[in-house]
Structure 1
């Protein structure tokens, strides 16, 4: 099949430009701007994100419903797009029918119409997992038909200047030679202790300590650096609910043995091809422990440590991890929109959640990047953003290899 091509004069601009779709508060854009690529337009439908963008990257951002019309701008050298990831993310329901998934294709259509020299599309790696990959492939085929070279690139946070286990998938499309290897140079990341040094003097850092009388505080006391509350893992970093009797209730030695047996059997004796684990037959528990466990199971049901599903037994609190305490010397978990919730993430050594400024530091935002609005709005913008250093890493490669 022949590809439609347009004849362009591909000159190296002295002052290259970029525009962005679904720009959010401007994390990705700030990374490109730091490399001398000039922003000419940014589009997002979220009013608060646009206001934040305009404060930090003035006279660029404005609102546009991308489903209604194409951006009314001159063709930029680079077009960026970070369409919503909620319909693709494994942290959500991953509904194939989620209407936000179609915005990924919409971004590709706008790119074809504007015809920039370079188009970069960003989303979570799960966007190419299972049936969801249909959207991604549709964009790739569309771009190839219009003469673009197309590659995929996965950026890891620790290789992109940020101390977190964040991964982001990028589609990089460009006009010109197809003999270019997409290998942005690795940017060393600081340690978490280096990233958060001196944060106490900055704005938007007002730590909310847990109430010493609260359930959350008692749990936090039991969670060490790098550990998390998890009943479905038996690693040294997993703290189980039965290890915190002052919160969840006391258990006997025999009951603990039963709980540990369910913990292992639910992932070993699988009956389904989905989910983290399956309920366990009492007979399997008896065999694993080596004695009749009916009395212990009856007691654990009353204490609300287990639940019965038909004739099988399942643990309660089967989340993979809550109260994840960060470790000063290890990368942080991915900064998301709930990063300030202490029931999900804990400061490395204080019994509290993270502040907005600490989250912004872990994401690599500059200290003078202003974060207006409520704490909820701040965490939402920070968590949804592409880390600025990750943007810098890609922008530096684009500047040298593609522009």
Structure 2
């Protein structure tokens, strides 16, 4: 095969992050396919090659054009597998993983590369991945599953993903990956303000979100369920949630600890605490303190137990300049989930795109919420570059 003539096609292409990794690595596109209107529109404006808006459950349009394609890539929806969601085993989107295998076998590419979240390999959900693996092996393909951390690729983002690779070439698999030092936000965001799609919205100084954000330092988050220097509890922000006495604080901190230590259920990470247990630890005055905290909205009574009204774990995370970001997801533009390291706001579309590895030349269009959704759902282009590198080895380039 002549170097530079390798071809690829993509299924569930989204806005084209996966495709960018392959085109920038010398692959020639032969077709991309996705159902999402906004994704298709942004792909057409920013990525080389033709994209078709289609429902892949009905098959691939112009399928015969792909019969000699070298590599087929796919990023089927991951929401049903993600630990950030409900992880429903029977989520209809989970079946799109096995549909990818069915479509691949109709095309018979030399190499298939499928990207998904690491949660696709855990619990009952792994049956879909196993089914994909089985159907490719039955067709004579060799397979390999690779767990990736994008920070190890030099990105300024902690994002765990899985690459499933199936190949039917004369090459042995060489899947060695050279790890790089993780990037940091200060480096990746420098100069973002000069680029398109950078329209940050500052929080209203007197608003609830801004008052909370002022109390959250770099590396911290609003959380009532964990202690330590990286957690800020609601009772530490009296101007928003109401003041408490030192005795009431003692009750809240004890409850926070006991609900994780003394478990009643085999699932979840915490349980309500029995009133008897708290009374034994705090004495008779506990009942008066309990009523006061219920009235203030901090606690709630559940039968003969007590629990926190709000846990807030994972809200208002302020990222740190000298560290990589948490996973860029579809909520990344909301300050209620992610706060800029030093400003009282969330992240702009351009900042989110940079952290996700998109070049500044990729200009997003459409509604702003749709833009964040496209970025959060995309395969990071640097991960696409890694996949292209591995595919080249299997093709003998």
TM-score range for the pair, normalised by the shorter chain length? over 0.9
Q: Offset at 1:186?
A: 2.4
CA distance in 2, matches of 1:43, 1:355: 28
Spell out the pairing of 1:154-233 with structure 2 (5 A cutoff). 154-177=147-170, 179-233=172-226
C-alpha deviations, 1:114-166, integer Å up to 9, x for none? 11111011111111111111111000000000111111111101112321111
Q: Offset at 1:12?
A: 5.9
Spell out the pairing of 1:188-337 with structure 2 (5 A cutoff). 188-289=181-282, 292-337=285-330
CA distance in 2, matches of 1:195, 1:289: 50
CA distance in 2, matches of 1:40, 1:154: 28
CA distance in 1, matches of 2:337, 2:47: 32
- TM-score, with normalisation over the residues of structure 2? 0.96
Instruction: Say whether residues 1:68 and 2:58 are aligned partners.
Output: yes
The answer (yes or no) to whether the contact 1:185–1:397 under 8 Å persists in 2 is no
Label 1:29 to 1:188 Cα distance change in 2 as closer, same or farther (>3 A).
farther
The answer (yes or no) to whether the contact 1:44–1:65 under 8 Å persists in 2 is yes
CA distance in 1, matches of 2:141, 2:238: 60
CA distance in 2, matches of 1:235, 1:308: 26
Q: Secondary structure at the match of 1:67?
A: helix
- Which of 24, 30, 42 pairs up with 2:32? 42
The answer (yes or no) to whether the contact 2:148–2:163 under 8 Å persists in 1 is yes
The answer (yes or no) to whether the contact 1:31–1:388 under 8 Å persists in 2 is yes
Q: Offset at 1:178?
A: 7.0
- TM-score, with normalisation over the residues of structure 1? 0.94
Match of 1:134 in 2: 127
CA distance in 2, matches of 1:108, 1:186: 29
The answer (yes or no) to whether the contact 1:162–1:387 under 8 Å persists in 2 is no
Q: Offset at 1:58?
A: 3.9
Spell out the pairing of 1:2-151 with structure 2 (5 A cutoff). 11=1, 14-71=4-61, 72=63, 73-75=65-67, 76-151=69-144
Q: Secondary structure at the match of 2:57?
A: coil
Comparing 35-44 and 314-323, the one that deviates more: 314-323
Match of 1:3 in 2: none
- Which of 363, 367, 387 pairs up with 2:360? 367
CA distance in 2, matches of 1:136, 1:59: 29
C-alpha deviations, 1:39-79, integer Å up to 9, x for none? 11100001110111111114421112111123423231000
Comparing 285-294 and 219-228, the one that deviates more: 285-294
How many residues end up aligned between the 2 structures? Answer: 393
Q: Structure 1 stretches of 5 or more lacking a match?
A: 1-10
CA distance in 1, matches of 2:295, 2:336: 25
CA distance in 2, matches of 1:294, 1:183: 61
The answer (yes or no) to whether the contact 2:273–2:305 under 8 Å persists in 1 is yes
C-alpha deviations, 1:201-221, integer Å up to 9, x for none? 001101100001101000000
Q: Offset at 1:395?
A: 1.2
C-alpha deviations, 1:334-377, integer Å up to 9, x for none? 00001000111100010001000000010010011010111111
Q: Offset at 1:394?
A: 2.0
